[in-house]
Amino acid sequence: MNDERPHPIALHHALERQWASPKGWRSLSAVNHGTMGMRFIIAALCFFLVGGVLAMLMRAQLATSGSAFLDSDLYAQIFTMHGTVMMFLFAIPMLEGFAFYLLPKMLGSRDLAYPRLGAYAWWCYLFGGLILIVAMLLGVAPDKGWFMYTPLSGKQFTPGINSDIWLIGITFAEISALCGAVELIATILKIRAPGMSLRQLPIFAWYMLVTAGMILVGFPPLILGSILLELERAFGLPFFSVALGGDNLLWQHLFWMFGHPEVYIIFLPAAGLVSTMIPTFARHPLLGYSWVVNSVVAMGFLSFGLWVHHMFSVGIPQLSLAFFSVASMLVAIPTAIQFFAWIATLWAGQVALRLPVLYLGGFLFIFVIGGLTGVMVALVPFNVQVHDTHFVVAHLHYVLTGGMVFPLLAASYYWLPHFTGRMPSGSLGTAGFWLIFGGFNITFLPMHLTGLLGMPRRIDAYAADMGWDLLNLTSSMGGFIQAIGFAVLLLDVGLHARRGTPAPRNPWTAGTLEWAMPTPPASYNFATQPDVEHRYPLWRNSALGAELAGGRHWLGGYPPVHRQTMSVDALTGNPQSVVNLPGSSWLPLYCGLATGVFFLGLLFKAYAVALLFAGVVALLFMIWVWMESPRGSQEAIEAKPGVWLPVHTDCRSSPGWWGMACTLLANGTFLASLVFGIVFLRLYAPNWPPGQWLGIPPLQAAWIFLAYGGMALCVWRGNRPRAGGGWLYGCAGSTVLALVPVAAIIGRLEDPASHAYWACMMVALAYMAVHLALVLVMAAFIALRRIRHGRAAPFSEETRIFGMWTLYSAAGGAALMVLVLSLRGGA
């Protein structure tokens, strides 16, 4: 870096050439976080409109008793698709879209940690959603409810592909959510402005950090359940078949281990948006910042102890009912802490009554009602009375719509100047609010009464003498008023995105970093990255935006050689390294397409095609990693005049390390869910034990454990300074020694369709074999890179990541082998 700073205009032009996304059809190869965030937001909005139309069709059917507007089969598809679209294709993708777009800007960064992974997440989301929408248009949409309870979703009651479409399409889309969670955690912890310690993190970053961690822990149980149910439907493996040692309650446990945390996964990011906007309009920092952060973390943990809250009527023991009832009420405490922090901030400041504040007020009102009914359904006696009635439907919508949609509408108006460079109007936006707010309450408030009067959810018709007609007609009228409100809002946003008054820089006088740039922002966000020592840096230094544009901070070198951003210590925020980010690439699209063909092969039972494209996906990812891997140690970079930093691949605790750590967290949750499922069937499922147990000779079991130990020992030796390459080949050899007997045991299994025990053994051993095979693939990859580029630097990033995967495979495999051996003795 030259001592003389380049002219700011020349620096901006050079950065734009380096960071700009391609135009025309080549834009499909874009990976920039702003482009990906906007794509998520726009696609989620389209899915929201689809879900809204489906909701209106249901309300038209239920407006009067004995309605013949929809037949029962079509209503079942519409009901299932409404819940599926809103929960899986709108809520989380929309919030991830906001996070993708906003977080790098709030953190003072130029992009996310893994731009290509974010692009791959987008394609998986789009293709998975399209599978479901196309199925609905063809009349073969899933029709057993968005929760897909067994045995109704099993082959016996749904012989077509309707349920398969849900299982495969949702699993495909959930890959997107998991990739996004890994992306967000690594970005928040590592890719932020120098000086921004955890105590200075924007409050929205804390909310998204907890949410992303919840996704990594909450989604694997549903993915496991979907895999097990698809294995039962496709191959007859009886995980949920009571006659053969399965149990239908296993599906409910796995689903609600995901399903109740899902509510908070949706609520927390929206609450993070509220915690970001309220200080701006109150002209006062958020009061109780530490209390709010701790309450968010507490909600993240407590949400995983509530899943049986949805199963109070299935006949579980009274002690369990009491425990989960208490846990369900305890979660109200951290929620109340956040609520009072918002009220206190508004009280302490001088509130500017702007359009977004109107939607924030609607959120506060509606969410309080939803929270109160939430405490009611947490009580076991009341829950049993209103279980599966419209009271629960009303509670769900008050919590999710009040907890998510109204903050999203406020956020849309708040950040509209950032997206478009133009200000929203006050007239149409206000009219849209009152139509939405009034229509929402007219729709769902009467549902509390219909629920208390006994109206079940999921029914498509009811008798005239039930006394529900007036309430249902009122709800249907409210639904259409609400729909008109959303139409007015979309009209308002569309008009003012094109013809609105040009927005000044930082039109709300906010304190967070995303307003320290021109709007709409440049593709690289910041010409230079700031030093940050305050939670509201623009309130501390109102001239910060001009300083950054003038090239006075980090990474102001000219000309920029790569797409670069800063990496910091996860705790202190001290600058640690410079991250060279990849540019536009077709690989995410190719990987998404290949993944889509793999899932379509599973859907249509073309397993040879699915196996082929599983290999194609693996090959494409190896090409992806090969292209991004360093060619050895790289020269340090002058990140600031006189400050030289290494490239991230030569550092410990790199973004890549954090990405693998997050991946293993999700993988470990999947493994824990599998162990839970096997133990649950062993303890509670009828028709156990099986007629015969799996016999594993002691010598063979000892051989497997020794092989796993050899893998761990080789990794330990490879992490020592000046370690040679022999450890890699020793690790590969130990892996082969473990894989061979595991494969031999799989070959000796009884028919896995004969009993749930044998099906569980098949899945557990297959899990071990797949992970061992991946260890061999990764070892071969590193060996080829050593041959091609010479011996990599000691403690290189790829070696550490390989070691993490290998240690996990050894520890997880050993734990599963202990489980396999321990089950045999319980006959």
Q: From the first residue on, what is the mean pLDDT of each consecutive set of 10 residues in the chain (827 residues)? A: 66 90 93 96 96 96 89 94 95 95 96 96 96 95 93 92 95 95 97 95 97 97 97 96 95 94 94 97 96 96 89 87 89 94 95 91 93 92 93 94 92 94 86 96 96 94 93 96 95 84 91 93 93 93 90 83 92 94 95 97 96 96 86 79 87 89 97 97 91 91 96 86 74 96 95 96 97 95 80 64 95 96 68
3-state SS class at 285: coil
Rounded CA separation 466/460 (Å): 14
Cα-Cα-Cα-Cα dihedral of 305, 309, 313, 319, to 10°? 40
Using alpha carbons, select from 535, 592, 557, 534 the residue that is nearest to residue 125: 592
Contacts of 781 (CB under 8 A, 6+ apart): 622, 625, 626
What is the bridge-based pairing of β-strands 637-640 and 643-645? antiparallel
pLDDT of residue 633: 67
DSSP 573: -
Q: What is the DSSP string of 549-587?
A: HTT-SBS--SS--SEEEEEE-TTT--EEEEEEE----SH
Find out whether the peptide bond into 698 is cis, omega within 30 degrees of 0: no
Are 797 and 782 spatial neighbours (Cβ–Cβ below 8 Å)? no
Q: Hey, what are 451's tokens?
A: 């629920």
User: CA–CA separation, 461 vs 478, rounded Å?
Assistant: 19
* Continuous segment of H or E residues that includes residue 773: helix 756-789
pLDDT value of residue 790: 65
Beta strand 575-581 with 563-568 is: antiparallel
Specify which residues 579 forms β-bridges with: 565
φ, ψ for residue 311 (rounded to 5)? -125, 25
Tell me, what's the pLDDT at 175?
Answer: 95
N-terminal to C-terminal alpha carbon distance within the chain: 72
Q: What is the pLDDT of residue 775?
A: 96
Give the H or E element holding residue 579.
strand 575-581
Q: What CA–CA distance (Å, rounded) separates 808 from 801?
A: 11
Packing angle, helices 756-789 and 655-684, rounded to 10: 160
d(CA 367, CA 444): 13
Query: Amino acid identity of 491?
Result: L
pLDDT value for 551: 80
Residues in Cβ contact with 668 at an 8 Å cutoff, skipping those fewer than 6 apart: 808, 812
Phi, psi of 425 (to 5 degrees): -90, 165
Residue with tokens 């389209």: 46
Q: What is the largest CA-CA distance in the chain?
A: 85
* DSSP annotation of 456: B
Q: What torsion do the CA atoms of 283, 289, 293, 294 make, to the nearest 10 degrees?
A: -150
Q: How far apart are CA 236 and CA 654, in angstroms?
A: 44
DSSP string, 120-181: HHHHHHHHHHHHHHHHHHTT----STTTT-TTTTSTTT--SSHHHHHHHHHHHHHHHHHHHH
Q: What is the rounded CA–CA span in Å between residue 115 and residue 186?
A: 12
Which secondary-structure segment (H or E) carries 645?
strand 643-645
DSSP code of 753? T
